[in-house]
Amino acid sequence: MNYRYALAGAVALLALVPIPAAAQRGLRDTLANPTTPEDLALAFGVYVAVTLVIGATVLTVDRSYVRSIETRLRDDPVSAGVIGLGVLVGGFVAFAAMGAVVALLVDAGAPAALESVPTLVGIGVSVGLTVINTIGMIVAGLVVLRRLRDEPEPNPWLALVVGALVVQVLYLVPLLNLAVAVFVVALATGAIVGQWWQGRAGEPSESEPSQQTADS
């Protein structure tokens, strides 16, 4: 869908807007390694705010897509996780190989401007992973709401808030944050890749008709 490209462009702009203000080393260090209660509160607030902005963009563009991702994860979380881990590991290897090839080409006499390619690709990957992570948080919120309120179709906007709060709290815990991040991103990546492959193969999603009706 063309909506995907619009979403990518919107999120890229959102990701670039705060860069000048956030470029100060003190703020970067605080957000990356909060140590005091004040630092934790600031980091938590910033991360939740960014998640809510990106999540609101995702839901505004296509709520039914998020529901289809949740359905796929509920149907086969193991396969989604395996696929997601494979994609992430493969992407990391490909990125490292690209950086090595670029370095060799520059050493061999290629234009120095070529060195900016890995940086640009890295920015694009970071934006993509941020969107995927946010979708994973929304799905986590949907799961929590299903368990707590026993609703067949939880409100995705409420799920965004719940998922952002729950997952971002876990992200503040050392070591646990890495495990949770890999878990959330791998599952969401696997489900998104599976959804893309199904659409590429021209297979209709079982959940699409009812979801589109519910979200319209």
Report which of 190, 212, 184 is spatially closest to residue 79, judged by C-alpha positions: 190
Report which of 6, 77, 146, 199 is spatially closest to residue 207, judged by C-alpha positions: 199
Distance (Å, rounded) from C-alpha 51 to C-alpha 163? 10
Backbone angles phi, psi at 122, to 5 degrees: -60, -40
CB 9 within 8 A of CB 17: no
Neighbours of 48 (CB within 10 A): 18
> What is the reported pTM?
0.76
Contacts of 72 (CB under 8 A, 6+ apart): 80, 191, 194, 195
Backbone angles phi, psi at 111, to 5 degrees: -55, 140
CB 163 within 8 A of CB 140: yes
* Tens-digit pLDDT string for the chain (216 aa): 334 444 444 444 444 444 444 444 556 666 666 677 777 787 788 888 888 999 999 999 888 888 899 888 988 889 999 999 999 999 999 999 998 999 899 888 888 888 888 889 988 888 899 999 999 999 999 988 888 877 778 899 999 999 999 998 888 787 888 899 899 999 999 999 988 888 776 655 544 444 444 443
Contacts of 115 (CB under 8 A, 6+ apart): 102, 103, 106
CB 173 within 8 A of CB 154: no
Neighbours of 191 (CB within 10 A): 29
CB 145 within 8 A of CB 162: yes
